[in-house]
Structure 1
Amino acid sequence: MKWCTLASALLSAASLIEARRSWQHVGKKSPILPRTPEVFTDHHLASRQSSKPKFANSNTSSYAVNGTGIPDVDFDVGESYSGLLSITKDLNAAEKLFFWFFPSTNKAAEKEIVIWLNGGPGCSSLEGLIQENGPFIWQYGTYKPVPNPWSWHHLTNIVYIEQPVGTGFATGNATITNEEELAAQFLGFWRNFMDLFALQGYKVYITGESYAGMYCPYIASAMLDAKDETYFNVSGMLIYDPSIGEDVIQDSAVVVPFADYNANMMPFNNSFSASIHEQHQSCGFANYSATYLQYPPPGPQPPSSTRFTDEKCNDLFNAVFEAQFSLNPCFDIYQVATTCPLLYDVLGFPGSITYQPDGTQPYFNRTDAIHAPMEVTWSSCADKPVFAGEDGDTSEPSSFRKIPQVVDATQNVIIGHGLLDMVLIANGTLLTIQNMTWGGQLGFQSVPRDPFYVPYHSLSLAADINAADADPTALATMAAAGVLGTTHTERGLTYVTIDLSGHMVPQYAPSAAFRQLEVLLGRVDSLSSVQAFTAEPDYPQVDAKSLGNGTGPSMVDMSAGQGANGGKNGSPPTNAATTTKAALPVSVWVVAGLSAVALFHL
């Protein structure tokens, strides 16, 4: 969760690999849902935008980006603006954040804007733009960038911001030591941004992933404290696979059940498996989860610093990672189903390993088309600390006070988790939620079990991908549909798991993230709704009565590997009304190498 350094050695006869992404981070036709003439891309492709620019004027002209002049992008991405803005009233100050703003042509997007932040700390939000939810995407292993029908700018106005100072193209000296100081700098930037584009009074939705689980709540809290809806009209927050709790609770305490659930992808031998299970028991992790991962929770959890002090116990996560990295040298803790070969990534990090083939460089170092400072060498994650001081970020976890404040004020917070993520594991997040007080109560009172439904659409696998007239762009942006996880809402907080998704949910499950944004913006009333996507309102959907419970890992006893009511892993509880123990996936920070390496959450 916080900036930390871990040292672990992975000896190999061939070489030592520094593990970082940003640690620094047979098709079938549907019997009822055939391809329709009006495909999803007809509604969304950025290359088909032709509306008049919304924000072009003398003040913004120097920030305007030529939508046809972005390197390697052979289509028009539409209206956008990018550049540097000061974090203070002095617009000439050295400390500036870099942004890329994409206005929406969606008529429902008037007077609202979404902020997107990647994590780290120190990882660039341009990662989210180019590989998650931006107007053009260039996923690793793919030939070239393509228009993104799942871009969030198809729903609303969105701005990607590289922050804090020291991240990406952001300039100046890193001076902050905690999240309050980070938020104060961000609010200074935000006032300048709102003034530049005359966005005063707009609803503000704050979104992000990973270490942005710290950024987003602290920024939202500071905006709420400002009591100024002209600039800071916070209306909701969405955070994916977030750093929100104590480190050991989000990694070592829950890593063994995660490995058990994913045993087919993490096939440890009997002796190693017995060893980590013994540690899971003797370190008290099994009992901790059995005691506190209940609905409703029995009471507040003791601080992990007083409960888990053994270094070997705290290092259990690293031991599991190292063993898995030996079995699968291309192992990606951001998406544990990944195997060799390594795929080329234009950002240089196709998973857990730095991989930059000769003759290549990170994409954003190849262009001056976005008004980036030419003297700055862009990297996916900062090489230097973005928090000053030896201790890095000294802030308390955001779950202690900041997330509850945002939930209570907006009644509109979503926490999402990809279930194939091992960097931050879902069970750790659930334990953290069950230790969080909002709306006058501690944790969720009922077991998460509702289905998370993603509408069927013309880019789902229900489409005829073998059709002679199949649209290559559509094939490049296919995404899932149906019940893809479990969701639950209480007192303004929604929790949702996403099946088959890794750490970066909009990247691995773009249709799921698109739906979640629709709910955040109030376009759809819940994540269990069978309402069609607003882009394809007439596309046929299933009957709500047919959905059943949510999918993915069931509410499972973490220590014994048995269902809450005696069932096997994967079976639903027999009586959801009873107090139930839960176990979903876990969190991880780990490196391979001889020296200490600073680790990041994207």
Structure 2
Amino acid sequence: MRWQTFTSGLLLTTATVAEARRSFQHVGKKERSMPHDDGSALAHFLATRQVPEPKFANENTTKFSVNGTGIPDVDFDVGESYAGYLPITDNATDTNELFFWFFPSSTVNNTEKEILLWLNGGPGCSSFEGLLQENGPFVWQYGTLKPVPNPWAWNRLTNVVWVEQPVGTGFSRGEVTARGEEDVAAQFLGFWKNFMETFSLQGYKVYIAGESYAGAYCPYIASAMLDQNDTTYYDMSGMIIYDPVLGDDVVQESTTTVPFVDYHKNLMTFNDSFSEYIHGLHDSCGFADYNAKYLTYPPPGPQPPSYSQGVSDECGSLWGVILDEALSINPCFDVYQVATTCPILWDVLGFPGSIGYLPEGGEVYFDREDVKLAIHADVTHKWEECASGDVFVNGRDTSDPSTWKVLPHVIDSTKNVIIGHGTLDMILLPNGTLLSIQNTTWGGQLGFQSPPVEPFFVPFHTLSTADEIYAETDETALGSIAGAGVMGTAHTERGLTFVSIDLSGHMVPQYAPSAAFRHLEFLLGHVDSLSSVKPFSIEPNYPQPAADTLGNGTGPSTFDTGASGSTADTVSAATDKPSSAASVVSSFVALGGVAAAAMLLNL
């Protein structure tokens, strides 16, 4: 991560943090003396951590109870949790069942009656990827030895359940009958009522979060809950969707890819002839003009409907052509995080980034029999991170994009929706998301009326300073280090917040866990904005900078449509306030956006 510091002396310099990560001896320099990490920080965390008494243990939940000290390879107590199958109807013998793993809040004094649902995308990708490598109570990241406690676990803030859906995803089983998102939502609501009754959660506020294809799942499910007008089971109160599938394929894909390449030119070092070719297409296909016209604040009007149907094959395939060239230069290029280089790190789920890799002797964690037994899964069921079979009839989701109706419904009803996007993501690019927002009507207006320029601030915390990591703390050691400071740009209008996250790829809670933790605090109402300098609720006394020192948001700094010969209007991110709306009106056009490529499965 890139580390930002203040001159107050509270925090370490960038070089000091680098010392904690890699010895300077390789270049003939000596390190300063630093206490040896003998595991004392982790030991202290485990010894002093308070594990709450079970909150949901009763005769209905006993069969779902998971032994917190019996999860394979996890050598610490993860606390109270429940896992298993529940049917998608009120018929207890229904063979169509979704699989879940529920972790109550781990905070001893948390009595809030609320629960958050997490969904991964695909379609057909398991939410247990999110549990194990993003925001669950233990994490097993790419290339690491074993699971470690996750100080950024979302169940430190609220009750969280990870659900594998729709039918055909992960351990979930039955006959695939869904033809579109309406069917997915109806089936999910049947499961959800069973879940709420099983754990006596009636009357709890419900929040939904997810990423990628969950940009379709989450709004449709949330909208269906709102339509029930039943706060006993479906008290929908807010939503987060990361790097989401939202609208027209070409708009989220090829239209914005060339500006994204230009912004990340040091990561995609194309030769002059190829660069000239893709810029020529960007111009001749009309993409430069499209960005210049519609990625503006406020937008001039609705974008052309079914835009992708009028685009030639050569223009529509521009994203794929650029990906092929990127892979020829960097064979380990990862569209989920474009700063990735070789070697490929092994992944206990078998699929690090966009290239599957499981070394000889490695096993897919959730397909192990001992893991299945520990969480009450069917031991005969082959678990895959992303389903090899279809989860929609004929393999096609027939529903309209969520931005047409259901997303506006959720925004207007809850006034509490966050759309986040990692700036290093190319499977779904940031400006595709912004173009989709600018073509969405909510609160009686089309798109954002003002450009996103405000700072997204992540509070400084124990795991943002190497000295404190080496000291005994109440959090884990280097395995869960995470960034702090101004880490992007956030903007809120009429109940919708957009936030870009610097140095994050597609899976925001994985690449920027402290940033995602802050998003959840905002969703739950713990802070009043994403520019707040209020400390994390888990470290309420940790010192923070003054709000007037933050300046503007960080990230893309120029307006550039990517057209050959175009000029860039420089935007200063160092001043306290933008010099004018015109100078920042399209500060994010240096990035781009994507819908899922057929050859890649969105997580």
Fold in common (TM above 0.5)? yes
Structure 1 range deviating more: 297-306 or 271-280: 297-306
* 2:413 is equivalent to residue 409 of structure 1: yes
8 Å Cα contact 2:463/2:469 also seen in 1: no
Q: How many residues align?
A: 567
* 2:75 is equivalent to residue 74 of structure 1: yes
Q: CA deviation at 1:589?
A: 6.2
8 Å Cα contact 1:421/1:501 also seen in 2: yes
Aligned 1:156-175 pairs, distance under 5 A: 156-175=158-177
Which whole-Å deviations, capped at 9, do the CAs of 1:164-187 have from their partners, x for residues lacking one?
A: 000000010111110000000000
8 Å Cα contact 2:569/2:583 also seen in 1: no
Instruction: State the alpha-carbon separation in 1 of the partners of residues 550 and 5 from structure 2.
Output: 20
Distance 1:307 1:86, change over 3 A: closer
SS of match in other structure, 1:69: coil
Instruction: State the alpha-carbon separation in 2 of the partners of residues 469 and 601 from structure 1.
Output: 39
Letter in 2 for 1:281: D
Instruction: State the alpha-carbon separation in 2 of the partners of residues 584 and 541 from structure 1.
Output: 31
From 213, 217, 222, the equivalent of 2:224 is 222
Aligned 1:101-140 pairs, distance under 5 A: 101-106=102-107, 107-140=109-142
From 481, 485, 498, the equivalent of 2:484 is 481
From 517, 522, 529, the equivalent of 1:519 is 522
Aligned 1:362-373 pairs, distance under 5 A: 362-366=364-368, 367=371, 368-373=373-378
* 2:199 is equivalent to residue 194 of structure 1: no
Q: Which residue of the partner structure matches residue 450 of structure 1?
A: 454
From 363, 377, 380, the equivalent of 1:375 is 380
Q: Which residue of the partner structure matches residue 434 of structure 2?
A: 430
Which 5+ residue runs of structure 1 have no aligned equivalent? 1-25, 592-596
Instruction: State the alpha-carbon separation in 2 of the partners of residues 32 and 495 from structure 1.
Output: 32
Which whole-Å deviations, capped at 9, do the CAs of 1:240-271 have from their partners, x for residues lacking one?
A: 00001111111100111001100000000000
Distance 1:567 1:34, change over 3 A: closer
Instruction: State the alpha-carbon separation in 2 of the partners of residues 577 and 98 from structure 1.
Output: 50
Which whole-Å deviations, capped at 9, do the CAs of 1:414-462 have from their partners, x for residues lacking one?
A: 00000000000000000000000000000000010000000000101x3
From 501, 507, 512, the equivalent of 1:509 is 512
SS of match in other structure, 1:177: coil
8 Å Cα contact 1:238/1:413 also seen in 2: yes
Q: Which residue of the partner structure matches residue 84 of structure 1?
A: 85
Letter in 2 for 1:51: P
From 276, 279, 288, the equivalent of 1:277 is 279
Q: Which residue of the partner structure matches residue 35 of structure 2?
A: none
Q: Which residue of the partner structure matches residue 25 of structure 2?
A: none
Q: Which residue of the partner structure matches residue 27 of structure 2?
A: none
Letter in 2 for 1:539: Y
8 Å Cα contact 1:44/1:154 also seen in 2: no
8 Å Cα contact 2:126/2:165 also seen in 1: yes
Distance 1:60 1:561, change over 3 A: farther
Letter in 2 for 1:426: P
SS of match in other structure, 2:163: strand
Q: CA deviation at 1:282?
A: 0.4
Distance 1:467 1:118, change over 3 A: closer
Q: CA RMSD in A?
A: 2.5
SS of match in other structure, 1:116: strand
Letter in 1 for 2:211: E
SS of match in other structure, 2:466: coil
Distance 1:490 1:82, change over 3 A: same
Letter in 2 for 1:494: T
Letter in 1 for 2:60: N
8 Å Cα contact 1:255/1:586 also seen in 2: yes
From 496, 507, 523, the equivalent of 1:493 is 496
SS of match in other structure, 2:290: helix
Which 5+ residue runs of structure 2 have no aligned equivalent? 13-39
Instruction: State the alpha-carbon separation in 1 of the partners of residues 208 and 243 from structure 2.
Output: 15
SS of match in other structure, 1:82: strand
Structure 1 range deviating more: 109-118 or 79-88: 109-118
Aligned 1:442-591 pairs, distance under 5 A: 442-460=446-464, 462-464=465-467, 467=470, 473-554=476-557, 556-560=559-563, 566-567=569-570, 574-576=579-581, 580-581=585-586, 582-588=588-594
Which whole-Å deviations, capped at 9, do the CAs of 1:3-42 have from their partners, x for residues lacking one?
A: xxxxxxxxxxxxxxxxxxxxxxx9999753259xxx9989
Distance 1:513 1:375, change over 3 A: same
Letter in 2 for 1:53: P
Q: CA deviation at 1:560?
A: 4.4
Structure 1 range deviating more: 366-375 or 440-449: 366-375
Distance 1:466 1:64, change over 3 A: closer
Distance 1:127 1:115, change over 3 A: same
Q: Which residue of the partner structure matches residue 599 of structure 1?
A: 600
Q: Which residue of the partner structure matches residue 48 of structure 1?
A: 49
Aligned 1:346-365 pairs, distance under 5 A: 346-365=348-367
Q: Which residue of the partner structure matches residue 255 of structure 1?
A: 257
Instruction: State the alpha-carbon separation in 2 of the partners of residues 345 and 46 from structure 1.
Output: 29
8 Å Cα contact 2:455/2:552 also seen in 1: yes
Instruction: State the alpha-carbon separation in 1 of the partners of residues 571 and 447 from structure 2.
Output: 26
8 Å Cα contact 1:564/1:580 also seen in 2: no
Distance 1:97 1:584, change over 3 A: farther
Q: Which residue of the partner structure matches residue 9 of structure 1?
A: none
Letter in 1 for 2:374: A
SS of match in other structure, 2:515: helix
Q: CA deviation at 1:481?
A: 0.3
Q: Which residue of the partner structure matches residue 34 of structure 2?
A: none
TM-score with structure 1 length normalisation? 0.90
Structure 1 range deviating more: 243-252 or 575-584: 575-584
TM-score with structure 2 length normalisation? 0.89
8 Å Cα contact 1:121/1:211 also seen in 2: yes
Q: Which residue of the partner structure matches residue 326 of structure 1?
A: 328
SS of match in other structure, 1:164: coil
Q: Which residue of the partner structure matches residue 9 of structure 2?
A: 32
8 Å Cα contact 2:559/2:569 also seen in 1: no
Letter in 1 for 2:128: L
Which whole-Å deviations, capped at 9, do the CAs of 1:258-302 have from their partners, x for residues lacking one?
A: 011000000000000000000000001000010001000000000
Distance 1:50 1:467, change over 3 A: closer
Q: With CA pairs under 8 Å and 6+ residues apart, which has the higher RCO, 1 or 2?
A: 1
Q: Which residue of the partner structure matches residue 385 of structure 1?
A: 390
Instruction: State the alpha-carbon separation in 2 of the partners of residues 43 and 515 from structure 1.
Output: 25
Letter in 2 for 1:443: G
8 Å Cα contact 2:251/2:307 also seen in 1: no
From 385, 398, 423, the equivalent of 1:394 is 398
Q: CA deviation at 1:464?
A: 1.4
Distance 1:64 1:143, change over 3 A: same
Q: Which residue of the partner structure matches residue 64 of structure 1?
A: 65
Q: Which residue of the partner structure matches residue 239 of structure 2?
A: 237
Which whole-Å deviations, capped at 9, do the CAs of 1:63-111 have from their partners, x for residues lacking one?
A: 0000011110000000000000000011111100000000003334521
Instruction: State the alpha-carbon separation in 2 of the partners of residues 457 and 61 from structure 1.
Output: 38
